[in-house]
Amino acid sequence: MNKVSKQIKTQKKVKRRGFLRRAISLLFTPLLIKFSIVVSLLLAAYLAYLDATITSGFDNKQWQLPARVYARPLELYEGLLISASEFEQELTDLGYERTNSARPGSYMRQGNNFTMSTRGHRFWDGVESPLRAKVSFSGRRLSQLRQIDNRSLALLRLEPMEIGAIYPQHNEDRIMVTINQAPPMLIAILLAVEDHRFYTHRGVSPVSIIRAAIQNFKSGAIVQGGSTITQQLVKNYYLTLEQSIGRKIKEALMALLLELHYDKEAILEAYINEVYLAQSDGHAIHGFGLASQHYFNKPLKELSVDQMALLVAVIRGPNYYNPWRHPERALARRNRILDLLGKQHLLTLDDVSWVKSQPLHLGKSSQSHYAFPAYIDLVKRQLRQVYSQNDLTSNGLKIYTSFNPRIQRSVEHAVTLGVNQLADDQLQAAVIVTQPKTAEVLALIGGKKFRYSGFNRALDANRSVGSTIKPFIYLAALEQPSKYSLATLIDDKEITIEHNNSFWSPRNYDRQDHGQVPMITALAKSYNQATVRLGDQLGIETVVDTLQRSGFDRTINPVPSLFIGTTQLSPWELIGLYQTVASGGYHVPLKAIRAVLDKDNQPLERFQFELQSGFDPKAVALVTRGLVHVTEQGSARFAKKRLPQGFTVAGKTGTSGELRDSWFAGFSGDMLAVVWLGHDDNSPTQLTGASGALPIWTTLFKSASRKSLSAHQVRGLNLHWVDLKTGQPAASFCSTAIELPFIVGSEPTGEKSCSL
């Protein structure tokens, strides 16, 4: 039995040896040699293909950089009208940290006194260097500005807040950083966590793969990856997210090739700009530069160690470790990373212990960076007149605007308050605020949901403007001082106008006739009959010409109902008309953009301050006086009641037929604003201009406007007392007397008297 079994075993061994011998001999048969050569050539061709992919992809990698949009930079100087709390809010918006440190982007506050270290910024007109300064406030005024060593400082420009971006179609977003701009500690943490053999391997680390495999086997799940940073970069750059052996082999081969072609620093720099780190408002955030702004609202170089550790922590799963949604997970992973840094002697154990005790130190939610879609919409429209879509979404342009975050906040507060009080779910709103002299757009909302993009009512809602058109009828008249002054009497009795074989008889809102009234009263009380009579006297062509010279550039239907505002204008068009009055008679085109720089900070375009000839400043001063009267004794006297005593504003209410639209347009010394309320389906709102738009406008100006309309004298005008009832000269003590400006030669003559 034993012999037999031995024989069988011996036969098996002989058979095995025979198989090996045959296999070895087969290896050298001509057929196999040919097959091997073919396979080698195919492999070589494949490697050549991968090599070409690697080199062309890496050399030509042009990250598509969205255009970044910035608010106006805050200019600090003694006398600036801003309170300490508003100033602190500006610093908070810019991500300044309240700390004892003197590093850029920090400040200290003691009461109304601040010590701050600015970051500096490169603007289109020069560099604003980082500076330490002392700033003091008294009430709503910046009272003292000094350098840290008490040397005088006339002007200090802070860096501008980023308010949005214009994205490419794939919605990737990043701020490019070079390897030298990245904090060394961040790189050290990254390598410690993701690839601590980075500087010794050649693209693939077998040791790491084996270690990860063992860990994963022990855990029964994939808990550790063996991919090097080079492999991760290859995966992000060139490959899909597919999980297969084939893809892993391809990834490893490409990583080897990448390391053959490029040095470690180049690979690391590409990685820190490519790595996916967050999703925000529909945009994928790549790279540490933007992630630092997203998570902490500050530049990368200002991050603390715990913040750097958190950035590296989220690489493993930006959604899973989202620190706002899952703070406990993010904190736990950050702390594991800090422990690792201790083990690798990058931090002392004491430091690890202290840093682990720190909270997450997140900035405000990144939504607030991109919270002004209606304003960004305006910026895009103005840019498209100059740049292609590709320029806007890919070339990293820097767009500097006149957006004022303080005023935007006030607009949003006023609209929220006003619309809530009106308790009408369907009610919509639009507001535009500009600087009255420069025509720069300071703030804008396109609907009552400020954070939603969509129909931008401020720019696109064409609605009947009602009586807000009337000042331009009076302006057309006051340009003829030989015929008209603010005291000229107009008959406010019923009027019928024939036009195109039909008859039109407008009535006053109160259905009353008011007899002979001075023009200033007709304007202030918004009398339809008097205004239509005046328009009829002037002629429709004269009124159309006045509107066009005020900046209206569409065709106007020359019908008499134009006199009381049946014409449909957008809030944007209406504020353009009022801009001409607010700027003193010069038409100044509205603009939101000041300048555009390319990604290398080279100035590309500056949108200059331009004047266009408009009207005689004297006639405009008279209309402005009439509009002040509207807010003091006319249809908008609510404003005078609510605004601080002595704070002068000018404006006009507007209500369209059947109460479909509620308007107010008006200005102070530093702000012009148009407010519109209405329903999108054009159904009646039950609101007049005075009951809907005016209270919102007043709330806005009470909180945001700092300069009263000055009683600026215009050469060629004289002041005279007249009787408001008769339009005749009056003594100043008469109860119905008012002091009005007149163009020299147009003042009423006769004896001064008081009407009874």
Partner 1 sequence: MLKRYLVIVVPFIFLYGCVNNIARQPAITLPANPITDTEAPAAQEGAILLPSRTSHNISAGGNDAVDQLLMSASEASINQQLARASALIERAVRLSPQDPRVYFSLAQVRFKENRSDQAYLLLKKSQSLVINDLQMLDAIKKFRASMK
- Which 228-257 positions form the footprint of partner 1 (CB under 8 A)? 256-257
138: β partners? 141
Smallest distance from partner 1 to CB 118, Å: 16
- Kind and range of the H or E element at 742? strand 737-743
259 counts as catalytic:
no
Which range touches partner 1 (CB under 8 A), out of 239-247, 497-505, 709-717, 730-738? 709-717
Selected from 8, 14, 26, 81, the binder of partner 1 by CB under 8 A is 81
Which range touches partner 1 (CB under 8 A), out of 308-316, 420-428, 435-443, 522-530? 435-443
Between residues 8 and 26, which has the closer beta carbon with respect to partner 1? 26
Q: Which residues contact 374 (CB under 8 A, 6 or more apart)?
A: 444, 445, 446, 447, 450, 453, 456, 458, 459
Selected from 69, 270, 564, 737, the binder of partner 1 by CB under 8 A is 270
Please state, in angstroms and rounded to a whole number, the distance separating the CA atoms of residues 429 and 697.
Answer: 12
Which range touches partner 1 (CB under 8 A), out of 11-19, 34-42, 111-119, 740-748? 34-42
Confirm or reject binding of residue 40 to partner 1 (CB under 8 A): yes
Instruction: Lay out the site mask for partner 1 across 381-420 (x = CB under 8 A, - = otherwise).
Output: ----------------------------------------
Q: Which residues contact 442 (CB under 8 A, 6 or more apart)?
A: 72, 402, 403, 404, 407, 408, 433, 434, 435, 671
Selected from 146, 409, 606, 702, the binder of partner 1 by CB under 8 A is 606
Q: Which residues contact 214 (CB under 8 A, 6 or more apart)?
A: none
Instruction: Lay out the site mask for partner 1 across 132-151 (x = CB under 8 A, - = otherwise).
Output: ---------xx---------
Please state, in angstroms and rounded to a whole number, the distance separating the CA atoms of residues 316 and 541.
Answer: 70
Between residues 97 and 440, which has the closer beta carbon with respect to partner 1? 440
Q: Are strands 67-70 and 398-401 parallel, antiparallel or unpaired?
A: parallel
Smallest distance from partner 1 to CB 584, Å: 7
Selected from 14, 20, 26, 33, the binder of partner 1 by CB under 8 A is 33
Smallest distance from partner 1 to CB 44, Å: 5
Q: Are strands 516-518 and 502-504 parallel, antiparallel or unpaired?
A: unpaired
Between residues 301 and 413, which has the closer beta carbon with respect to partner 1? 301
194 counts as catalytic:
yes
Which range touches partner 1 (CB under 8 A), out of 30-38, 475-483, 533-541, 725-733? 30-38
Structure tokens at 548: 């066009």
Please state, in angstroms and rounded to a whole number, the distance separating the CA atoms of residues 196 and 345.
Answer: 13
Confirm or reject binding of residue 199 to partner 1 (CB under 8 A): no
Instruction: Lay out the site mask for partner 1 across 557-596 (x = CB under 8 A, - = otherwise).
Output: ---------------------------x-x--------x-
Confirm or reject binding of residue 60 to partner 1 (CB under 8 A): yes
**CA nearest to 586, candidates 617, 608, 609:** 617
Confirm or reject binding of residue 714 to partner 1 (CB under 8 A): yes
Local structure of 471: helix, strand or coil = helix
Please state, in angstroms and rounded to a whole number, the distance separating the CA atoms of residues 276 and 285.
Answer: 6
Confirm or reject binding of residue 710 to partner 1 (CB under 8 A): yes
Place of tokens 């992973």: 333
- Cite the beta strand spans of 539-613 per DSSP E: 568-569, 593-597, 603-606
**CA nearest to 682, candidates 659, 707, 655, 705:** 659
Of 128, 162, 194, 747, which is the active-site residue? 194
Place of tokens 């990834």: 251
- Catalytic positions are 194, 467
